[in-house]
Amino acid sequence: MRRLVLGILLGIVFLTGAIAGDPMIHLISQVVTPIPQPVVRLYDSYNSTYFPYEVKVVYYPGNASGQNLGLPTQWGVTNGGQSHNAAFSTTCMELNQGVVWQEDFAHMAGAALIPLSTPEGMVPGANAMGTRSALVMLTQMVGQPLGVTLADNLLFVEEDSGPGSIFAVNPLNGQVVWYATGLASYAMNNPIVYNGIVYVTVGDVGFNFANFVHYEKGQYDSIHRGMGYGAIYAFNASDGVLLWMRFTMGEAMPAPAVYNGILAYADGGGEFVGVNATTGQVIWMDRMPGLFDSMSSVNYYVLRNGTPLFIAGFTSLTSPYGLLVAVNGLTGKEAWNATLPSPNRPYNTGMGDVPPAVDQQHGIVVQSTVANAEPNGTVDTLVVGVNASNGRVLWVTNLGRGYTPPAFKGGVPMIYNGTVYVGSPSLGKEFAINVTNGKILWQTRLNGIGLPPKAPGGPRGGATYYDGLLWVAGGPYVYAINPKNGEVLTQYYVGGRFGIVNPVIVGSTMFLANSYGWVVTVPLYQVYPDYVLYAS
């Protein structure tokens, strides 16, 4: 009966339209809402310089959230801030209840769709180079080595694939608001967000043959890291319009830092550069021959007189083989440099890999590195605390000896309420350290993380302190840890692999990036049902 009535009504509408003519047909057509078409922009040059690949920006205006999600307006340093604790409260009901979705953005950028449940032996190249090397290469060339950025009402995700891409995503449902592909090289870090602009740095891990020749001849000042292009891009955070870009001397894998309108970045050519964050115009440039920054994202410390110091870790090919370098943020003049005191000696890219954490309240910079290598392939993992004003080493703590981890050598330190939380990839452990004296408060082994030399090791990414618990990502797992004693309360399986990934938490929702190319959101109560018992 209902179908008959519906048929009669449709017939009346059709006949009425036929009698009334075009006006009625036009009236009916206005009721149908057209599907919004994406806005596509193509860029092949900037400032009279061609790009190596055409940058394609695709914008979907209808996918952005229409509500204020209560996210940070700025993301000035990798992992969210000076202390690297990427945890935030929000007024958004959905994020407070816990959002669930997962998307493979690497696949959208042109990579193969690799399910999170894929065994390690099936990842690209595993049958030729072994799972250890294949997992590391996947992180460096396909998925996301680091975590995500939540700012300006959007989730920002970098992807190595395509050869480099960035996605701006609706955090509530994973829908893409805009994305840019065709960046000059791999995009390996957190995007930085400031005053409605998102910054992306790109570069690769390699050294070309000319650099080996320089090394053999002892021409260390001529060595640059990066076989391909390095560059930094500035996009409008809302719609992806390209605002400016700069090529760099060597790779630009580390994330920049921004403070009070000055954006500072370091690269594989020994450059430390400060630019106007809005226009990209160079304010100052430091050249440090013989040094290169691998993955040590820039941080900052503000002196009592209000002057910022920008700080990054560098690798050197001659003694002392690794430095923390601080430059005056207004002039670019070197303020201080620091390294491990004798007899300790930084090893490989250790000092130049890890982003230093800054405790603004205590005036301390914290860095971790591998050091004191032995012919049997073992190293110490050391954590060093440095006076942020003058570079004086305050303490050095040895976390223990293990086999050298591949690629990124240390664990990203995170500071919360006078305690440093840091992982040792060599040992598969998480540590808590007193920030003022370097004393180890506790250490705990994270089961399920394979150790070098057979496996990549972990955890590498910074921990996140939220609701009275420590949240750590390593291997295919997320761990909830009691920060008072190091007790592992849960070991939650996600799949894939977490490289230098820090959980990003807003409300009751955790955002995780993955080496397999996925972004996964999971409610905290799903990771650990009793987490509310620890909330203060």
What pLDDT was estimated at residue 216? 86
Q: Tens digits of per-residue pLDDT, 393-417?
A: 999 999 999 999 999 999 999 999 9
Q: What is the pLDDT of the chain when averaged over all its residues? A: 92
CATH class of this structure's domain 39-527: mainly beta
Decide if 511 contacts 150 (C-beta within 8 A).
yes
Rounded distance, CA 165 to CA 514, Å?
15
Decide if 38 contacts 176 (C-beta within 8 A).
no
CB atoms within 10 A of CB 227: 18
Decide if 131 contacts 202 (C-beta within 8 A).
no
What pLDDT was estimated at residue 4? 39
Per-residue H/E/C for 291-357:
EECCCCCCEEEECCCCCEEEEEEEEECCCCCCEEEEEECCCCCEEEEECCCCCCCECCCHHHHCCCE
Decide if 236 contacts 282 (C-beta within 8 A).
no
203 closest CA partner among 170, 160, 171? 160
pTM given for the model: 0.92
**Kind of pairing between the strands at 504-506 and 87-88:** parallel
Backbone angles phi, psi at 226, to 5 degrees: 120, 115
Q: Tens digits of per-residue pLDDT, 345-362?
A: 999 999 999 999 999 999
Axis-axis angle for helices 22-31, 2-20 (nearest 10): 130
497: tokens are 């692999």
Residue found under tokens 């955002």:
511
Helix %, strand %, coil % for the chain, to 5?
15, 40, 45
Decide if 372 contacts 345 (C-beta within 8 A).
yes
Q: Which parts of the chain have pLDDT scores under 70? A: 1-35, 536
457 closest CA partner among 531, 402, 387, 518? 402
Q: What's at 41, amino acid-wise?
A: R
Cα distances from 278 to residues 233, 274, 281, 295, in angstroms, run 12, 12, 8, 24
Decide if 55 contacts 181 (C-beta within 8 A).
yes
Rounded distance, CA 419 to CA 321, Å?
28
Domain map of the chain by residue range? 39-527
What pLDDT was estimated at residue 431? 98
